[in-house]
Amino acid sequence: MLSPQKTLNTYYLEARRDLLEVAAMLDRYDEAVKRDGQKAGDESRKDSLLQAMEILSKPDHADANRTEQLLVHFAKID
């Protein structure tokens, strides 16, 4: 089992990369909206990602169940 500091040090760059990928996808979507002059007919997947980030941004997770919360969230959408 890794210490808290070792956990951060080990997984930080991978998590940062994944967040940057989500941001890039949202930027590509925004650019497509600007280019085409309209939003997607169904934005539920974009909204789902934004809602997932809200789940992750909550400061208190007593049971450290973020993964479970996201699995339940995405199961409702997909």
- CA atoms of 43 and 53, how far apart (whole Å): 16
Q: What is the pTM of this model?
A: 0.83
Q: Is the pLDDT of residue 65 over 90?
A: no
The whole-number pLDDT of residue 72 equals 92
- CA atoms of 77 and 27, how far apart (whole Å): 21
Sketch the domain layout of the chain as residue ranges. 1-39, 40-78
- pLDDT tens for residues 11-23? 999 999 999 999 9
- pLDDT tens for residues 6-55? 999 999 999 999 999 999 999 999 999 999 999 999 999 999 999 999 99
Of 70, 76, 75, nearest in space to 22 by CA = 70
